[in-house]
């Protein structure tokens, strides 16, 4: 079954969408089957993957409000090699319409169950708020990836985010955990960056990915061409960093699975 990860941080501009698009492409480069779910009405992940958000016949909005099946709303990307459940401004209405639905927190989870066998990874790009759309993402996911910029106010929003994650874990989704914290737009020459980074590692230990994403102009340019950086400039520092992140994510998962499998092997022998 697919490993479902929500990429979230209620702060805007920290690199959630950039991480979703480029991690998706990097996982594809290692032969994984990936679905990217755009849960932000801004539709940046949709556009950044090369799909025109203004020309959608169906979107994640229709899926969340039970107007079509998930399979009817999935689009293949023209270049990037992964699939997208896209979004556009219609999704703004879903917030209100979901309030009328009894099982409102579970809508995305229910839909993703139907395609769980088709993919190895599902990445969910969240909007910059802790609203019902983000809650749907966290109820559907098993792990949360938190991209953050190492700047002065970076740690401030983390408390509210942790409370939301813990709230969901202790009620509807006990398996929900922090998959990893990702330092984005990283500049090691900036002393504040290294200080915040140290603090992050102090609080979260090895939950902080070793891979850091540097500030890289190729990463910022690629969305205007509707493609991930791997297809824009595969030798760029940004492309190499996201490939490294995919590698780290996969290695961590393999390690965790080995750990889980060990007791069973011991009993068998
Ligand atoms: N590592 C990076 N280097 C340079 N620019 C980046 C990097 N990551 C993101 N950006 C740019 O910063 C802006 C915000 O990033 P985005 O991924 O859209 O954040 P979010 O989804 O959290 O709002 C975008 O213009 C994006 O192109
Ligand atoms: Mg975004």
pLDDT tens per residue, the chain (269 residues)? 999 999 999 999 999 999 999 999 999 999 999 999 999 999 999 999 999 999 999 999 999 999 999 999 999 998 999 999 999 999 999 988 999 999 999 999 999 999 999 999 999 999 999 999 999 999 999 999 999 999 888 888 898 899 999 999 999 999 999 999 999 999 989 999 999 999 999 999 999 999 999 999 999 999 999 999 999 999 999 999 999 999 999 999 999 889 888 765 555 44
pLDDT at 269: 44
pLDDT at 206: 94
Give residue 93 CA to ligand 2 midpoint distance, Å: 18
pLDDT at 265: 54
Provide the pairing of β-strand 177-186 with 208-214.
Answer: parallel
| Residue nearest atom 10 in ligand 1 by C-alpha distance | 220
- Which pair of structure tokens corresponds to residue 162? 């942790």
Phi-psi region of 258 (alpha: psi -120 to 50; beta: other; left: phi over 0): alpha
- Report the candidate in 256, 252, 261, 245 with the shortest Cα–Cα distance to residue 30: 245
Burial of 135 (0-12, 13-18, 19+ CB in 10 A): buried
Q: Which atom of ligand 1 is nearest to the CA of 216?
A: 3
Q: Indicate whether residue 93 lines ligand 1 (CB < 6 A).
A: no
Q: Indicate whether residue 21 lines ligand 1 (CB < 6 A).
A: no
| Residue nearest atom 16 in ligand 1 by C-alpha distance | 15
Rg of the chain taking only CA atoms, in angstroms: 18
| Residue nearest atom 8 in ligand 1 by C-alpha distance | 15
Kindly identify the ligand whose nearest atom is closest to the C-alpha of 146.
Answer: 1
Name the domain count of the chain.
1
- Which pair of structure tokens corresponds to residue 192? 């504040």
- Which pair of structure tokens corresponds to residue 62? 């229709």
Neighbours of 250 (CB within 10 A): 17
Q: What CATH number corresponds to the domain at position 245? A: 3.40.50.300
Give residue 18 CA to ligand 1 midpoint distance, Å: 6
Helix (H), strand (E) at residue 26: helix 16-29
Helix (H, G, I), strand (E, B) or coil at 153: coil
Q: Indicate whether residue 78 lines ligand 1 (CB < 6 A).
A: no
Residue 49 near residue 219 (C-beta atoms within 8 A): no
| Residue nearest atom 27 in ligand 1 by C-alpha distance | 220
Q: At 103, phi and psi to the nearest 5?
A: -95, 40
Q: Indicate whether residue 43 lines ligand 1 (CB < 6 A).
A: no
Q: Which atom of ligand 1 is nearest to the CA of 44?
A: 18
Give residue 81 CA to ligand 1 midpoint distance, Å: 21
Altogether, the residues listed in the chain come to a count of 269
Summary count for the chain: helices (H), strands (E): 11, 8
| Residue nearest atom 6 in ligand 1 by C-alpha distance | 220
Residue 45 lies in domain = 3-268
Q: Indicate whether residue 225 lines ligand 1 (CB < 6 A).
A: no
Q: Indicate whether residue 219 lines ligand 1 (CB < 6 A).
A: yes
């Amino acid at each position: 079954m697919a490993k479902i990860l929500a990429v979230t941080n209620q702060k805007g501009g920290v690199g959630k969408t950039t991480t979703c698009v480029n991690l998706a492409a990097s996982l594809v480069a290692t032969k994984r089957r990936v679905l990217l779910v755009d849960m932000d009405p801004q539709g940046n992940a949709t556009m950044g993957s090369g799909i025109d958000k203004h020309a959608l016949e169906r979107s994640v909005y229709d899926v969340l409000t039970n107007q079509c099946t998930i399979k009817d709303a999935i689009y293949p990307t023209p270049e990037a090699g992964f699939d997208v459940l896209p979004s556009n401004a219609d999704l703004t209405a879903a917030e209100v319409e979901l309030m009328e639905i009894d099982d409102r927190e579970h809508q995305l989870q229910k839909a993703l169950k139907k395609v769980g066998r088709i993919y190895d990874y599902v990445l969910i790009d969240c909007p910059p708020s802790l609203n019902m759309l983000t809650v749907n993402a966290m109820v559907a996911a098993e792990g949360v990836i938190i991209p953050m910029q190492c700047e002065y106010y970076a740690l401030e929003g983390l408390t509210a985010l942790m409370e939301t994650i813990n709230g969901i874990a202790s009620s509807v989704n006990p398996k929900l955990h922090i998959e990893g914290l990702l330092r984005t737009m990283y500049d090691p020459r900036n002393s504040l960056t290294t200080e915040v980074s140290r603090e992050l590692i102090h609080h979260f230990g090895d939950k902080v990915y070793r891979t850091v994403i540097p500030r890289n102009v190729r990463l910022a340019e690629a969305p205007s061409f509707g493609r991930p950086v791997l297809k824009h400039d595969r030798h760029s520092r940004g492309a190499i960093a996201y490939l490294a992140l995919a590698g780290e994510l996969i290695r961590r998962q393999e390690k965790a699975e080995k750990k889980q499998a060990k007791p069973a092997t011991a009993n068998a022998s």
